A and B are shown apart, each in its own frame.
Chain A
Amino acid sequence: MVNNTRSNETLSSHLSKSLPSVSITYISENSVLLEWPEKVCAIQHQHIMLCQTQICNALTDKVIDCIASYASLLIYYKFELIPHDELNTLLHDLVQRPSSVNNVIHNMVNTAESAVDNNHEQNIIEVPVYYGNEAGWDLTDVAEQTQLSVKDIIKLHTQAPYRAYALGFTPGFCYLGELPAQLQLPRKASPRLSVPKGAVAIAEQQTAIYPNTSPGGWHIIGQTPLDMYSTDKQSFKSTINIGQSVKFVAISRAEFLSLGGTLIQEQH
């Protein structure tokens, strides 16, 4: 009986129900924040990225910048160029209108399928990591806190590809998720003033690579010789872009050095 009722529902309404509600908040004079339910979820994140593209296409030159994160999207816009009601209707339509929702779901399914296909091919960015103790400053601590052996930590960290959910904190810093549950730890109680360039670190559900020496409160488990961005005269290219897949690959100290890495040991 229940099954029959479900099968009688139109596709559209079923799809509408499968999409989470998106809250729209005008947080400042020139920015509006779209928020999805708080979760690290690849399918939801694909919806966020599709909304980002659609909103940028719809608003064209009225958009100043559009910043995606795990479960949110911030749009900076030129408020003098678009009446509030018009923008509000447009945003609601884009994220919630059934016809849009169908398109989004359709695109989502296609994107999800193509993403899965690509994952099996060449689209995964491989990040070589030397997980030795002199590179992974917090490796011993992490082993203690997680009750795992260093070998198991490396195995878990390199196991599955991660999705790039957000860029921020500093240019080229990409938030990757979701970290296996066994490796999830709160941030360090006291952040370091200097985390080395290339540090591979973990905190909560996330892992990331520090593109440059900077302060930081994440647990350092290794170092990579890979640069996190390249620059041209007037352009900046991040090695990892939002939505891409990233896999860590364990390398030896010799491989790290031969790839041009500079091993930085902690100063006590």
Chain B
Amino acid sequence: MNTYENKGLTVVKKNGLCSIQDLGRMSSQHLGFSASGAADEYAFLFANYLLGNNLVKDSSGTSPNNAALEITLGQITFKAEQHCTIAITGADCSVCINEKPIQNWHVHQLNAGDIISFALPKSGLHTYLAIAGGIQSKSWLNSQTQTSTESALGFSAPMIKIGSTIPLGEHSTINVNTINAANNLSIKKLTPSHFYTAPNSLLTLRFIPQSLYENIDNESQEIFCEHTFTVSTDINRMGYRLSALPTNVIINTPSNPKLSKPVTYGTIQLPSNNQPIVLMKERQTIGGYPVLGCVIQTDLFKLSQLRPGNKVKFIPTTLNFAQQQLSAMYQRFK
């Protein structure tokens, strides 16, 4: 008798944002597609690691990786239509199964008929709900990632709304003991509180400078790096706009409009209103604003969890350091 039933998870209540994310559509940016992908890769990989799902093999994001739900600002409730094994990571949404609180950064079993609810988190933005074996949504150009504009055009699965069903894979139930990942957390130094800064504390964004920054005088560089910026209300998966630069930082941005050039994850743009924008996962592929440098990826994952009013500062670093940090993080999830 075939007991396998693939009925998935159904959205019964929804007030926040929820999308399907993996490590992004990295190889179609030349066609104008946003790379997109999980905003906070640390929490995303952590959830998949707990479940023993396929993980990233290198920085490309092209290796098999399991899509998960990225829940932004909580406020969503699912009904499990089948038994499945899940992991919850990221912003703490006081998640409950049938109204009983469950632990964040842990694996849980859901039975058919169970109700799992996510409240508005007290701090942070993105929470990941990963399922053993991943999500079986439409893949487009080698990725299941959803962006609001491209999903609206039918390129990836339709955006999730009340009544949507999240289709799961064939092996959505596992015995947690067999994967042993939970026991390896301390060996692997996987302690979320060590990765993130405390809620509402100052986050230092290390960045690889570009010529616009390198060409400003030392005094202005010092003021720039000592300044505390505030995260504005103008933030989303595409970018984070910050408060304006102090007026005594003199940056000679070119007066003529520059020709648009490709931008990357973490690019720090400086529009004429002097409010830096840090480009995030769902960025455009090409941009025209002057560029100060690029924030390192391991700090971008932390930035993606900040809210309007949170404080950040910048400090220059090297390519070598940035690569070491990223490799070290990926190494822990291998």
Give the B-binding residues of A (Cβ under 8 A). Answer: 25-31, 33, 35, 38-40, 64-74, 76, 78-81, 84, 166-173, 175, 186, 204-205, 212, 214, 231, 234, 236, 238
Contacts and interface: CB of A to CB of B under 8 A. Distances in A.
Nearest to B297: A29
Given A31-B264, A80-B327, A234 B208 contact: no
Interface string B306-334: 00000000000001101100110000000
Nearest to A235: B141
Contacts of A84: 319-320
B198 interface: no
A81 B58 contact: yes
Contacts of A79: 59, 323
A169 B59 CA distance: 24
Contacts, number: 131
Given A74-B262, A167-B32, A168-B286, A186 B257 contact: yes
Interface string B121-140: 00000000000000000011
A5 B316 CA distance: 48
Given A67-B29, A69-B259, A74 B264 contact: yes
21 contacts: A27-B264, A27-B293, A29-B297, A29-B326, A65-B28, A65-B29, A67-B286, A71-B261, A72-B259, A78-B59, A78-B60, A81-B58, A167-B32, A168-B285, A168-B286, A170-B32, A173-B32, A204-B257, A234-B140, A236-B33, A236-B155
Contacts of A33: 261-262
Nearest to A171: B32
B257 A65 contact: no
A63 B54 CA distance: 22
Interface in B137-153: 139-141, 149-150, 153
A83 to B, nearest CB: 11
B333 to A, nearest CB: 14
A72 to B, nearest CB: 4
B71 interface: no
Most B Cβ at <10 Å: residue of A28, A79, A205, A238: A28
B322 A72 contact: no
Interface string B18-31: 00000000111111
B258 interface: yes
Contact of B149 (A26, A70, A170, A238): A170
A227 B61 CA distance: 31
A25 to B, nearest CB: 6
A171 B33 contact: yes
A64 B31 contact: no
B174 to A, nearest CB: 29
A169 B286 CA distance: 6
B2 to A, nearest CB: 29
B284 interface: yes
Contacts of B33: 171, 236
A168 B150 contact: no
B328 to A, nearest CB: 12
B260 interface: yes
Nearest to B26: A64
A168 B59 contact: no
B228 interface: no
Contacts of A238: 31-32
B32 A76 contact: no
Interface string B61-95: 11000000000000000000000000000000000
Interface string B258-294: 1111101111000000000000000011100000011
B30 to A, nearest CB: 5
B296 interface: yes
Contacts of A26: 208, 319
Nearest to B327: A80
B164 interface: no
Given A29-B319, A29-B323, A168-B32, A67 B262 contact: yes
B259 A64 contact: no
Contact of B284 (A35, A169, A204): A169
A74 B294 CA distance: 14
A214 B284 CA distance: 13
Given A28-B265, A81-B58, A70 B32 contact: no
Contacts of B26: 64-65, 76
B319 A70 contact: no
A25 B15 CA distance: 43
Contacts of A171: 31-33, 150, 153, 155
Contact of A76 (B29, B139, B261, B296): B29
B275 to A, nearest CB: 16
B210 interface: yes
Nearest first, the 10 closest Cβ-Cβ pairs linking A and B are A168-B286, A74-B262, A72-B261, A70-B259, A168-B285, A67-B262, A171-B32, A28-B294, A67-B30, A64-B60
Contacts of B265: 28
Contacts of B28: 65, 236
Given A204-B257, A214-B149, A72 B32 contact: no
A212 B151 CA distance: 13
Contacts of A166: 260, 286
A217 to B, nearest CB: 10
Contacts of B264: 27-28, 31, 74, 76
Given A27-B267, A30-B60, A167-B32, 6 more contacts: A26-B319, A65-B30, A78-B59, A78-B60, A80-B59, A171-B31
A35 B260 CA distance: 11
